[in-house]
Amino acid sequence: MFHGISRRALLSSAISYVGATAVLADAPLTSLYPRLRGADAPEVVVKGADAIVAASKLSGKVAFAVADAKSGLRLEGMNEKAAVAPASVTKAITALYALNVLGAGHRFTTRLIATGGVSGGVIHGDLILAGGGDPTLSTDILADMARQLKAAGIREVHGKFLVYDGALPFVKTIDKDQPDHVGYSPAIGGIALNYNRVHFEWRRASGKYSVTMDARSAKYRPDVAMAKMRIVERASAVFAFADKGGVDNWSVARGALANGGSRWLPVRKPALYAADVFTTMAGSHGIRLKPAKVISKLPNGKVLLNCNSKPLRKILSEMLKYSTNLTAEMVGMAATIKRRGRVIGLKASANEMNAWAKSALGVQGMKLVDHSGLGSANLMTAGGMVGALVKVYASDVLRPILKDIPVRDEKRKIVKNSPIKIVAKTGTLNFVSGLGGYMTAADGTVLAFAIFVSDEKIRSRISKANREAPQGSKTYNTRAKKMQQKLIGRWGSVYGS
């Protein structure tokens, strides 16, 4: 019998080093909780990690790593040095990057600027809607800015209406390999609205369809002119996109429409989208604006109104909860601009984040091509992700803003009052499932973990048109999530007492 030596000390002596990539080769089959006394006491059996992975029958590659969050002691791992697709787990690294470079209290500012003089309620020059890289700008916010402009006494603009989008480089779509119509891969620019998505709705009456394209929000539903929809007779693609005449031109196959429905479509001209909505909102207050012109360089002028975003920490918390790709890309590029003074595009910014992660977090094997994890070329190792989680654990910068992940049973039902608590970032693509974060066991032990599952061979065979929901992907990802839960349950039993 060992007196005065904790179980963790025994594990520490058995594995004898911190921060390395050791694996418990012969993981115990029974729980390391003290056994109940008495002849009728049950023995709780805990499956080994290899058995859990094998039972999942997942094709492709499974990679995971788990470590004590406080000491960095590596406890288990499988393929933890293998570079695999992390999907949206990438956003946890992006959050750390943005917080480190911009600061938790950073706010993005959208401004209304007047060139020339202002007198008698008249702007004798141009009015500029100047984007400041705020990924959370909404129709409601633009409506309030129009109201404040009116309240400031402005009633007329003699000059042009300009929209500045040069705060960030323009990117036509986050991932060019995604279908044109998916709302999670919109364009990026220095000004965004409603996460750069436009709301398409259709209704059928008397055999005819009516369609609307609007910028709806909690309070308003203004129609937009910069995005148009046609219903066509077509047997092939459900949606088709064309950039014609400075307008986002969409068409949809009639046969794919039911009697009514709606969906969000990506916006390819963010600056014109914001200008369209602001023009409507200003007009509702009697302020008539000329057709908007987009500019990439900001002229001098008088600031009439500043509209600040929420603090960055709040923005990132919402990004991690809802996994908004646009937010990740915009804050990531904003951080790179702060570090380097400029950025030429998404991949270049991701390369800068890779370099930062290596120097600041000691992460090896991270090759990201964007900040959201949407691109298929993104690569990360489970060991590298766990290393980053351990590195920042003491500062408590990431853990409080990660999403609560419920513990689920074999039937995927939530286990109420589970002794295990999980905060993590999920990641889901076709035949890719990731989970990375922290779990707290029943005894309060906190473990850092990352689990990545990916079948790249199947992914490579999926056509671009079919990437929104290919056959078999949902089943694959459900099985992956079940495996993730079983691994976490194992770690809670084996290392949490």
Residue 330 has pLDDT above 50, yes or no: yes
Query: Over the stretch 406-444, which tens digit does the pLDDT of each residue have?
Result: 999 888 899 999 999 999 999 999 999 999 999 999 999
The per-residue pLDDT of the chain, averaged, comes to 91
Give the residue from 290, 308, 326 where a domain finishes: 308
Residue 354 has pLDDT above 60, yes or no: yes
The confidence score (pLDDT) of residue 39 equals: 42
Enumerate residues 6+ apart whose C-beta is below 8 A from 339. Answer: 101, 352, 356
Query: Over the stretch 364-409, which tens digit does the pLDDT of each residue have?
Result: 889 999 999 999 999 999 999 999 999 999 999 999 999 999 999 8
What is the mean pLDDT of the segment spanning 439-455? Answer: 97
User: Total structural domains in the chain?
Assistant: 2
CATH of residue 359: 3.40.710.10
The confidence score (pLDDT) of residue 412 equals: 87
Residue of 164, 182, 165 lying closest to 174 (CA atoms): 182
The confidence score (pLDDT) of residue 73 equals: 97
The residue range of the domain holding 387 is: 10-103+313-495
Give the residue from 259, 277, 308 where a domain finishes: 308
Domain contains 4: no
Tokens in use for 301? 């002028």
Q: What is the dihedral of CA 200, 201, 202, 203, to 10 degrees?
A: -170
**Please, what sign has the CA dihedral across residues 273, 275, 276, 277?**
positive
Query: Over the stretch 460-495, which tens digit does the pLDDT of each residue have?
Result: 999 988 888 899 999 999 999 999 999 999 999 999
Q: What percent of the chain has pLDDT over 90?
A: 85
In this structure, are 251 and 367 located in the same domain?
A: no
Q: One-letter amino acid identity for 174? A: I
Residue 51 has pLDDT above 70, yes or no: yes
The confidence score (pLDDT) of residue 219 equals: 95
Under the banding of pLDDT at 50, 70 and 90, the label for residue 496 is: confident
In this structure, are 87 and 114 located in the same domain?
A: no
CA distance 18 to 21: 9
pTM score: 0.90
In this structure, are 407 and 346 located in the same domain?
A: yes
Residue 194 has pLDDT above 60, yes or no: yes
Instruction: Report DSSP state, residue 397.
Output: S
Give the residue from 255, 273, 308 where a domain finishes: 308
The confidence score (pLDDT) of residue 29 equals: 32
Domain contains 192: yes
The confidence score (pLDDT) of residue 17 equals: 27
CA distance 322 to 54: 31
